[in-house]
A and B are shown apart, each in its own frame.
Chain A
Amino acid sequence: MERPKIIRISGIKDEAEGIKTIFLRHSMVAKPGQFVMLWIPGIDEKPFAVSYSDQKKGEIGLTVAAVGPFSNRLSSMKEGDKVGIRGPYGRGYNLGKNSKQLVMAGGGYGSASLTMLAEEAVSKGCNVKFILGARSKARLVYADRIKKLLGSGNLIITTDDGSAGIKGFVTDALKNLFKAQKVDRVYACGPDRMLKAVSDICNENKIDCEVSIERYMKCGFGLCGHCCVDPIGIRACAEGPVISSAQAAKISELGSYHRVKSSRKEKL
Chain B
Amino acid sequence: MQIDLSTKILNIRLSNPTILASGVMGVSGAACVYAAKKGAGAIVPKSLGPKEREGHANPVLVEFDKGFLNAVGLPNSGVDNSLGEIEFAMKNAGVPVFPSLFGGTKEEFGYVAERLSTLNPQMLEINLSCPNTASDFGEAFALNEKAAAEVIRIVKSKTKVPIIAKLAPNVPDIKKVARAVVEAGADAISAINTMPGMVINVDVARPVLHNRQGGVSGPALKPVAVNCVYEIHKAVKVPIIGIGGVTTGEDAVEFIMAGACAVEIGTGIYYRGIDVFRKVTAEMEEIMQRNGYSSIKEMVGAAHK
Contact = CB atoms under 8 A, between A and B. Distances in A.
9 contacts: A2-B63, A3-B201, A3-B208, A46-B58, A223-B68, A223-B269, A224-B23, A225-B25, A225-B28
A222 B274 contact: yes
A4 interface: yes
A221 B31 CA distance: 15
Interface stretch (B5-13, B75-83, B171-179, B245-253): B75-83
A229 interface: yes
Contacts of A265: 77
A125 interface: no
A259 B55 CA distance: 14
Nearest to B59: A45
A96 interface: no
Given A82-B204, A259-B28, 11 more contacts: A3-B59, A3-B199, A43-B57, A224-B24, A224-B25, A224-B27, A225-B31, A230-B30, A233-B30, A259-B27, A263-B46
B25 A228 contact: yes
B31 A39 contact: no
B230 to A, nearest CB: 28
B199 A232 contact: no
B35 to A, nearest CB: 8
Contact of A84 (B29, B31, B201): B201
Interface string A249-268: 00000000001111111000
Contact of A224 (B52, B72, B92): B72
A74 B63 CA distance: 24
B93 to A, nearest CB: 10
Interface residues of A, number: 39
A46 B58 CA distance: 8
* B interface residue count range (under 10 / 10 to 19 / 20 to 34 / 35 or more): 35 or more
A29 interface: no
Given A225-B46, A229-B30, A234-B34, A45 B270 contact: no
A68 interface: no
A219 interface: yes
Nearest to B57: A44
A66 interface: no
B26 interface: yes
A265 to B, nearest CB: 8
Contacts of A231: 30, 33, 88, 92
B76 A263 contact: yes
Interface in A55-105: 82, 84
B210 A261 contact: no
Nearest to A252: B30
Contacts of B29: 230
Contacts of A18: none
B237 interface: no
Contacts of B26: 225
B203 interface: yes
Given A225-B46, A233-B34, A219 B206 contact: no
Contacts of B53: 262
